[in-house]
Structure 1
Amino acid sequence: MRRSVLVATLLASTALTPTRSDAGPVVAWVAGATGVSAASGIATGAFATAFQAGLSFATGSVLGGFAVRAVLSLGLSAIAAKLAPKPPIPTPAAQMVNYAQTISFAERVYGRTRKGGPLAYTAFGNNRRYYVPILAAHPIQGIVEHFLDERSATLTAEADPNLSNIATAPMAGYGRIDVMTGAEGQVANAGLVAAFEEVTEEFDFAGLAVAVLWAKRPPQDKITEIYPESRQWAYTPVLDGKNDIYDPRDGSSGWTNNAALVIADWIVTSLGEEVDWDEVADEADVCDEIVINAEGDPQPRWTINGTLSDATDYEDQRAQLAAAADVYFYERTDGKVGFIVGRWMEPEIILDLEQDFFSVEDVEGQWGEDAPDEVAIVYTEPDNAWRETPSGSWIEEEVPRPLRDTPQVFLVTNHNQASRINKRLARTKRAQFQLSGTIDAIGFEMLGGREGPRGGGRGHRFFGVRDPLTGAVQAYEVGNLTFETFTVFSLTANSVNQEDFAFDAATEEPERPSYGVTVVSDGSVPVPASLTGTALPQGTIQYAWPAQDAAFTQEVRYRIVGDTHWLTARTSESAEVLQVTGLADGATVEAQVRNRTAGAGASPWGPETAIQTVVVVNPTPPGALSDFAVAPAGDGQALVSFTAPNDGQYFGTRIWRGTTSTFGSAALVHTEYGIPSAGDSYTDAAGYGTFYYWAAPINSSGIAAPLTGPESVTLSPPGP
């Protein structure tokens, strides 16, 4: 059998000589796992770490933070049982609360989702209820949309913590929301400190994302109107979560919902394990590939959006992550955790029934009692107030009384992704062949033999089995691969083909279920004649339109240019303005508005071409420059020197150059960043001739002070 040949090759003295850096760790790991003596020299030098990892594995240590009894890899078929209709994880609706309890588990928020959170503090004072829900156990990118109970709320720019900043009627004037994102340098909320003696500057909630709210008593006849639950509002915003996720493709860290980058962050920060960042980069590229949904809109292939709580064990967290992006997890032979997101890959390892298996059972067409006729996962739908929602069904077989499977995958937030997962779950549960058996040491190769475009050491999600009679090869997907003893692995797998992973949304994505009352475009409802957007401080845009009939309320939909999903904000009564907050500095946001009736009627969206507004967090420009001058610096260069204004808003200076004294013909040549009051300069390689220079200080949002200039300079070539 091949087992003896492979073991002999791996354990021969020549193979153990550290002559190939890529093979060394794998060889040492195998040696440790198979019980080779440390006296052989493997457990020293470059091989020590890998040898000890293999030895720990062989003696029963848990690898990768989640291996159970040496389970080295898990595919979709193996984790499907964790997606039962009642998993030990909270539903999205269950998270739309603020609650007080003695012990609260840490919650990590990935991508974009809507949630509440446990109360870090609550007290009554100044005729107001103050409360502080914890939104995440880490810094976040920011709030996308505020919700008080089930009502979307917009905020004003009011800075006084004792005054209301809620703009939406009927709640306007009766409360305040101040969000603390957990950013470095976060300080205690001034209003909370002033209201309670026991609250000091130490209450900065460092590293946590929280919201500080107060709600005051209204007149008796307005209590249920302002507080529908007869108590303070439940604050359950839509937020963009963890904002320090590493992207190995460019070395940056920030917010993302790219499934591969989210999973890598979870492995590193939650499990405390290592990943191969080159492998992560490859998987992230796959996740960013564009697919077209049933509406004809483009979207990334795999995203993850939702909450993971430490109240849920790692196995269930991993199941949710795996199901959301059809992920195959495996333990690499170097001890790192590897994963492959959902896609078809031609098998590179072909197993021989006679040479590679100690025992094997390959069953055809016997799916068992739990094989569904149709699958409709329950996912999180933004258009249904970010609550759990059944997707349209993938029908694998039409029968009079179908067996319907409804697994719960709450980290999925779009119907197209849910539909693709439906197909995969249906196909893997009704695979033509189901294989189980024990294989030899080729199991090590399945864990780390594939060479990718950015390096080796990667596992094999797919393999082929050759029929000894016909020579035909059937493709299989690993369900799980388990280390038993020495060089024996147990293996389960289901047959697959390329079509199982293909998906044509135009013909295969089912119709979405309806979410309550559907708003229908009604030609009798007029569209507002115009819409304007004005950037306000702190990432706010104020939208305005002409006054409308009092019978209509207004709805604005908006999104960052390039996004596919619209967000909406509505007025509770007829109005002429509406503010949207929590937007990223410098982002270009497009928007449209429409009128709505008290029933289900609505006008078309207008204007037909959405208006665009650039977000400005800091609209206050710095002061003007002083001592602005330009002088020759030799070799066709001009020295532009200036003194920055003594202004805390100062961030840098833009410098323009032209060949005439008319600014309109000048071009921006440089931005010099610096500090207030400092002397600064820039040497510009202009060439020869007469040139005119202008400069303007800017703040951190790029808002400029008045121009200084022009100052002219003549640069002459050196004489003979």
Structure 2
Amino acid sequence: MSGGVRKIAQVAVGAVVGFISSGGNPLGALAGAGMAFYMAEQQEKLNTKSPMRDNEPSAQTVRSSKAPARFILGRVSTGGVLVWAQEQAGDQTDGEWLHLVYVLCEGPVDALENIYLGEEEIATYGEHATYELVVNPTQVNAFLKANCPDWKDEQIGRGLSFVRLSLKYSAEKFPSGIPDARFIVRGRNDIYDPRSGTAVYTENTALHILWYLRNRCGVPDDEIVFETFASGANICDESVANPDNTTSPRYRSSCVIGADEQRTNVLQKLEAACGGRTIRVGGRWMFQAGAYYGPYDFEITEDMVIGTITGSTEPTNDAAINTVRGTFIDTSQSWTETDYPEVSVAEWVIEDGGEAAETLTFSYVTDAYQAQRLANIELRRRRAGGTISIPMNFLGYNCRPGRAVRVNLPSLNILGEFIVTNWSMGADQGCTAQLQQYDAAQFDDAVGQPYNPIGFINLPAGGLGSPTNLAWVPDETAEVTQGVLSWTQPAGIVTGYAVTIRQGGTAVQAQQVPETTLQLPIAGLPSGNYTMSVVALGPLTRSGEASITVNIDGPPIPEACTVQSTIDTIT
């Protein structure tokens, strides 16, 4: 055996637990048995991260006996986990074989497209490099058993996908020792597609999210609304024309997920890859891709509001961005993290008096055009407006997250389309809905299926009656008030009254008074015609409006003007 080979690798001791045929859970496949390597000068170079992939951890080869399990979705470049290295038996010199085993991931993969050794395709090494992809084996690998003296019958690798890589020593081909290996892999091919009921390989982001919820988050099928994921998958598969006259799916993702990654972070990255969101309503999981799910089919009116509305319909200064830039994974540049062209609206930059930029990183996106589309969606979402929180009676149960609604509150001059972003039930009130401004322009040409609400509560007819005997009595003598508005209490439990004064459809005054108040002095109104309305408020309810039209007269016109002059003497 040559000194170079002796330095390159010595016999590895042990293997990963996944290669033991004890039938254990493959989630612990990469944790357990120890592994020892003699670190020679040439191998030390392999521990240095390639500068081409400093920002892509999945592309690095891991040498660890405690590496967490990994899962591959879509088409990725990955380094794998090196779990075995053993030289050919005997005392050969030049031409000795070294056999390596790299675990790619847990579960079956669809294909191994290519292998790069030291950033060169494996085909360039000719007879000096051979490989074999092994997917979820049920018996010991014949090649490894025959060529590795220490390979045991128990080392099977159930539930894993791994690569056997064999290198034939050559000082010319391997002048710096063992080259770093990088694998181009088409990931799992057992991803469930609810549209066809089959398990397939896919880069569809909606199906990736569905797989992650079912297999990594442990969400049972009876808590998943599969129709929403099927609808989202159709949106992700839509063909979109690119500026270079090519087409590509609207949303696709590719990723290597570690078992030790926080599940919320993984879901956020997958959601970011399609501009969508997972929604949990009534204990069931649903999904909406980055598309317009309107128009609205439910309207929020003032008789549903039972408390103070908070928030703002205008975006805050930090939210009103006009430029988005960031990175994605560029497959044409060795799968490195690369800047995508920034998305900016010149008109908004001028309005804001300068650039207000935000950085968005799409670590699961491998298409520059998709990254720009996602950046454009986020830019317009942030620019669209702020959010409001509305306390509502039980009719607010219709406002479940993800539903497009119309908000019609004339007393606050709010009229427009919103989307429900959050919903909560209170102990002493119906519910509170958080809304964000919403329109189709945010998503360009992406249109989703209308939202189909579930589990609504139908309220019985009836409720609190409206105030009666509404009257206006002008005050011609007082200097503080212009008149008094009075009414009669309706039947039922009343907790207060909301008084609104409008002129030409625009609210100019709005007040809320306790239930003991049956008349209200009015002041501060310019002369003109006004509509005065009173609404009775009760527990979890609100009556209809009782209105009256009045005319506010200004002071009388002077009839004459007299000027008198006098001469006064001060002594």
Q: State which of 320, 330, 339 in structure 1 corresponds to 2:269.
A: 320
SS at match of 1:250: coil
Aligned to 2:349: 398
SS at match of 1:480: strand
Displacement of 1:393 in angstroms is 0.9
Aligned to 2:423: 481
Displacement of 1:298 in angstroms is 2.2
Aligned to 2:126: 172
- For residues 331 and 201 of structure 1, the distance between their equivalents in structure 2, rounded to whole angstroms, comes to 47
Check conservation: 1:129, 1:232, Cα contact below 8 A.
no
- Structure 2 residue 420 is matched with structure 1 residue 468: no
Aligned to 1:369: 318
Displacement of 1:305 in angstroms is 1.7
Aligned to 1:161: none
User: What are the within-5 Å matches in structure 2 for residues 553-632 of structure 1?
Assistant: none
Aligned to 2:279: 330
- C-alpha offsets along residues 464-511 of structure 1, whole Å, 9 cap, x if unaligned? 21132488631223443345547655544431221111059xxxxxxx
- Structure 2 residue 445 is matched with structure 1 residue 445: no
Aligned to 1:207: 159
- For residues 181 and 259 of structure 1, the distance between their equivalents in structure 2, rounded to whole angstroms, comes to 24
Aligned to 2:78: 115
- For residues 384 and 408 of structure 1, the distance between their equivalents in structure 2, rounded to whole angstroms, comes to 17
- Structure 2 residue 205 is matched with structure 1 residue 259: yes
User: What are the within-5 Å matches in structure 2 for residues 71-470 of structure 1?
Assistant: 93-126=56-89, 127-153=96-122, 167-168=123-124, 171-182=125-136, 185-219=137-171, 222=172, 226-227=173-174, 230-273=176-219, 274=221, 275-333=224-282, 335-345=283-293, 346-353=295-302, 355-356=304-305, 358-369=307-318, 371-396=320-345, 397-398=348-349, 402-442=355-395, 444-447=397-400, 460-469=402-411
Check conservation: 1:178, 1:212, Cα contact below 8 A.
yes
- C-alpha offsets along residues 29-87 of structure 1, whole Å, 9 cap, x if unaligned? xxxxxxxxxxxxxxxxxxxxxxxxxxxxxxxxxxxxxxxxxxxxxxxxxxxxxxxxxxx
Q: Which moved more, 1:320-329 or 1:347-356?
A: 347-356
Give the fraction of aligned pairs with identical amino acids, expressed as a percent. Answer: 20
TM-score (norm 2): 0.61
- For residues 302 and 325 of structure 2, the distance between their equivalents in structure 1, rounded to whole angstroms, comes to 36
SS at match of 1:122: strand
Partner AA of 2:112 in structure 1? I
- For residues 499 and 411 of structure 1, the distance between their equivalents in structure 2, rounded to whole angstroms, comes to 25
* Cα 1:347/1:234, change in 2 over 3 Å: farther
Check conservation: 1:248, 1:281, Cα contact below 8 A.
yes
TM-score (norm 1): 0.49
Partner AA of 2:116 in structure 1? F
Partner AA of 1:108 in structure 2? F
SS at match of 2:111: strand
Displacement of 1:360 in angstroms is 2.2
Aligned to 1:164: none
* Cα 1:488/1:118, change in 2 over 3 Å: farther
Check conservation: 2:64, 2:83, Cα contact below 8 A.
no
Partner AA of 1:341 in structure 2? A
- Please tell me whether Structure 1 or Structure 2 has the larger radius of gyration of its CA atoms: 2
SS at match of 1:380: strand
- For residues 289 and 295 of structure 1, the distance between their equivalents in structure 2, rounded to whole angstroms, comes to 18
SS at match of 2:210: helix
- For residues 144 and 484 of structure 1, the distance between their equivalents in structure 2, rounded to whole angstroms, comes to 55
Aligned to 2:450: none
Check conservation: 2:402, 2:421, Cα contact below 8 A.
no
Q: Which moved more, 1:406-415 or 1:192-201?
A: 192-201
Displacement of 1:176 in angstroms is 2.1
- Structure 1: gaps spanning 5 or more residues: 1-89, 154-166, 448-458, 505-720
* Cα 1:91/1:499, change in 2 over 3 Å: farther
- C-alpha offsets along residues 571-590 of structure 1, whole Å, 9 cap, x if unaligned? xxxxxxxxxxxxxxxxxxxx
SS at match of 1:262: helix
* Cα 1:402/1:96, change in 2 over 3 Å: same
* Cα 1:134/1:391, change in 2 over 3 Å: same
- For residues 357 and 94 of structure 1, the distance between their equivalents in structure 2, rounded to whole angstroms, comes to 52
- C-alpha offsets along residues 294-339 of structure 1, whole Å, 9 cap, x if unaligned? 1122222222222222221111011011111111221132x22111
Aligned length: 380
User: What are the within-5 Å matches in structure 2 for residues 651-670 of structure 1?
Assistant: none
* Cα 1:417/1:439, change in 2 over 3 Å: farther
* Cα 1:113/1:461, change in 2 over 3 Å: farther
* Cα 1:366/1:277, change in 2 over 3 Å: closer
Aligned to 1:613: none
SS at match of 1:231: coil
* Cα 1:232/1:372, change in 2 over 3 Å: farther
- For residues 425 and 120 of structure 2, the distance between their equivalents in structure 1, rounded to whole angstroms, comes to 53
Displacement of 1:209 in angstroms is 1.0
- For residues 303 and 355 of structure 1, the distance between their equivalents in structure 2, rounded to whole angstroms, comes to 41
- For residues 428 and 289 of structure 1, the distance between their equivalents in structure 2, rounded to whole angstroms, comes to 21
Partner AA of 2:387 in structure 1? Q
Partner AA of 2:68 in structure 1? F
Partner AA of 1:413 in structure 2? T
SS at match of 1:264: helix
Displacement of 1:276 in angstroms is 2.0
- For residues 94 and 206 of structure 1, the distance between their equivalents in structure 2, rounded to whole angstroms, comes to 25
SS at match of 1:367: coil
- For residues 205 and 290 of structure 1, the distance between their equivalents in structure 2, rounded to whole angstroms, comes to 39
Displacement of 1:272 in angstroms is 1.2
Partner AA of 1:142 in structure 2? A
- For residues 371 and 106 of structure 1, the distance between their equivalents in structure 2, rounded to whole angstroms, comes to 41
- For residues 396 and 118 of structure 2, the distance between their equivalents in structure 1, rounded to whole angstroms, comes to 53
Check conservation: 1:134, 1:209, Cα contact below 8 A.
yes
* Cα 1:271/1:439, change in 2 over 3 Å: farther
* Cα 1:398/1:487, change in 2 over 3 Å: same
Check conservation: 1:144, 1:240, Cα contact below 8 A.
yes
Displacement of 1:120 in angstroms is 2.7
Check conservation: 1:96, 1:234, Cα contact below 8 A.
no
Alignment RMSD (CA, Å): 2.7
- For residues 233 and 239 of structure 2, the distance between their equivalents in structure 1, rounded to whole angstroms, comes to 12
